[in-house]
């Protein structure tokens, strides 16, 4: 495969000493992956990872992943790869690309290094202040660009209220996506609206969390299931492997939002959460922590229903019925 000139220029490569091969993993339904290997002037090698895809969906996805990776990397450099850039091929303008550090993965079970754990890295990410967007006088919830959770483009338009953001930009938004994919279901629509209108302000309202002091937005990965975490080295094979994450769908959010999909698919045990919460304590009231995580898990059930249909609707309905019984009274 010949490397497009725009990528050669972006990475400042010598095309005569650069080759491209297929790379497994890290992809999604609309992307293919490649490994770029170049020989430097001192005869050492540098390796990059590239995703490519066709059409507007790929363009949106790669722009969001570029911003997401660099938001994570900026806060905790050893947590994720750097993204070097994204754009369209000059020879094939309908094909978009994203170029990042190459991850040399060995698998999470093989971690034996003394490097910081994933729990401690995640806690650092979730206790690092986010930038204040232009036009605002303090950090807000949202993200500068659209990000994709799976193949779902998310509405990250800024809101000063976390409860408003979660109700509108996540729950009501994903319901509309699900209805577009699967048709309207009266029970599902009613439960989502009751959850967004009643449960959300009661459980994660700004005047309720942290004894009325609200929460500070932090960067979350946004799609942190076990398949998006592993052990390896970033950019080279040198150094001890350590725990890393990839394929993020970032936004500025309540840190506990991260835990919803982690709970949904498992792979992060009690010892992980114990270490994490020693460094990043549960939001008050801690007695409602499990229900907040369940509320955040709901979004991912609805997203999976929008993407795949099937039994994910019943999972979402079950969560909402439980939460509405406890918190849904007007």
Q: Are 291 and 190 within one domain?
A: yes
Neighbours of 287 (CB within 10 A): 8
Q: What is the predicted pLDDT for the residue at 181?
A: 95
Q: Is residue 232 part of a domain?
A: no
Q: Are 69 and 146 within one domain?
A: no
- Give me the catalytic one of 101, 155, 223, 291: 223
Q: Are 198 and 51 within one domain?
A: no
List all residues 6 or more positions away from 259 whose beta carbon is below 8 Å from its beta carbon: 273, 293, 296
Q: Is residue 242 part of a domain?
A: no
Of 43-47, 81-85, 89-93, 146-150, give the lowest mean pLDDT range.
43-47
Structurally, how many domains does the chain consist of? 2
Q: Is residue 41 part of a domain?
A: yes
Q: Is residue 146 part of a domain?
A: yes
User: Residues 283-304: what's their mean pLDDT?
Assistant: 98
Q: What is the predicted pLDDT for the residue at 54?
A: 94
Percent of the chain's residues with pLDDT above 90: 84
User: What distance in Å separates the CA atoms of residue 79 and residue 229, rounded to the nearest whole number?
Assistant: 10
Q: What is the predicted pLDDT for the residue at 27?
A: 47
CATH number at residue 157: 3.90.1200.10
Q: Are 176 and 253 within one domain?
A: yes
Pick from 86, 105, 124: which residue ends a domain? 105
Pick from 83, 105, 127: which residue ends a domain? 105
Q: Is 50 exceeded by the pLDDT of residue 202?
A: yes
Q: Is residue 65 part of a domain?
A: yes
Distance of CA 211 to the CA centre of its chain: 28
User: Residues 192-220: what's their mean pLDDT?
Assistant: 96
Q: Are 208 and 314 within one domain?
A: yes
Q: Are 157 and 207 within one domain?
A: yes
* Owning domain of residue 162: 135-225+248-262+281-328
Q: What is the predicted pLDDT for the residue at 310?
A: 85
> H/E/C letters for each residue in the chain?
CCCCHHHHHHHCCCHHHEEEEECCCCCCCCCEEEEEEEECCCCCEEEEEEEEEEHHHHHHHHHHHHHHHHHHHHHCCCCCCCEEEEEECCCCCCEEEEEEECEEECCHHHCCCCCCCHHHHHHHHCCCCCCCCCCCCCCCEECCCCEEECCEEECCCCECCHHHHHHHHHHHHHHHHHHHHHCCCHHHHHHHHHHHHHHHHHHHCCCCHHHHCCCCCEEECCCCCHHHEEEEEECCCCCCCEEEECCCCCEEECHHHHHHHHHHHCCCCHHHHHHHHHHCCCCCCHHHHHHHHHHHHHHHHHHHHHHHCCCHHHHHHHHHHHHHHHHCCC
Q: Are 77 and 144 within one domain?
A: no
Q: What is the pTM of this model?
A: 0.94
**223 included as an active-site residue:** yes
**Six token digits for residue 33:** 């992956």
Q: Is residue 165 part of a domain?
A: yes
Q: Are 145 and 101 within one domain?
A: no
Q: Are 290 and 205 within one domain?
A: yes
User: Residues 22-32: what's their mean pLDDT?
Assistant: 66
Q: Is 80 exceeded by the pLDDT of residue 111?
A: no
Q: Are 67 and 213 within one domain?
A: no
The pLDDT-based confidence of 79 (bands split at 50, 70, 90) is very high
Q: What is the predicted pLDDT for the residue at 151?
A: 93
Which residue is associated with the tokens 């900026």?
A: 74
Q: Are 88 and 163 within one domain?
A: no
Q: Are 28 and 71 within one domain?
A: yes
**Six token digits for residue 181:** 């994919």
User: Residues 181-209: what's their mean pLDDT?
Assistant: 97
């Amino acid at each position: 495969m010949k490397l497009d000139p725009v990528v050669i220029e972006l990475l400042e490569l010598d095309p005569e000493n650069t080759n491209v091969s297929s790379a497994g993993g890290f992809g999604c339904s609309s992307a293919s992956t490649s490994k770029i290997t170049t020989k430097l002037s001192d005869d050492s090698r540098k390796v990059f990872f590239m995703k490519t895809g066709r059409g507007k969906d790929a363009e949106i996805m790669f722009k969001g992943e570029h911003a997401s990776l660099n938001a994570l990397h900026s806060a905790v450099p050893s947590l994720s790869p750097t993204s070097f850039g994204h754009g369209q091929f000059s020879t094939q303008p309908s094909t978009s690309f994203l170029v990042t550090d190459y991850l040399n993965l060995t698998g999470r079970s093989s971690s034996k290094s003394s490097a910081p754990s994933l729990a401690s890295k995640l806690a650092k990410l979730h206790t690092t202040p986010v930038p204040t967007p232009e036009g605002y006088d303090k950090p807000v919830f949202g993200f500068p660009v659209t990000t994709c959770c799976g193949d779902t483009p998310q509405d990250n338009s800024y809101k000063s209220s976390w409860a408003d953001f979660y109700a509108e930009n996540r729950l009501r938004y994903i319901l509309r996506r699900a209805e577009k994919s699967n048709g309207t279901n009266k029970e599902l629509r009613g439960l989502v609206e009751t959850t967004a209108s009643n449960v959300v302000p009661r459980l994660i309202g700004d005047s309720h969390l942290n004894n009325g002091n609200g929460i500070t937005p932090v960067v979350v990965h946004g799609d942190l299931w076990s398949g998006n975490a592993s052990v390896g080295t970033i950019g080279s094979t040198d150094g001890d492997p350590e725990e890393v994450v990839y394929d993020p769908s970032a936004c500025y959010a309540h840190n506990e939002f991260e835990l919803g999909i982690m709970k949904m698919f498992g792979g992060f045990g009690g010892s992980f959460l114990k270490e994490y919460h020693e460094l990043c304590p549960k939001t008050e009231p801690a007695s409602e922590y499990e229900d907040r995580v369940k509320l955040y898990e709901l979004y991912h059930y609805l997203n999976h229903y929008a993407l795949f249909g099937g039994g994910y609707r019943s999972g979402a309905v079950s969560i909402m019925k439980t939460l509405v019984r406890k918190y849904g009274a007007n």
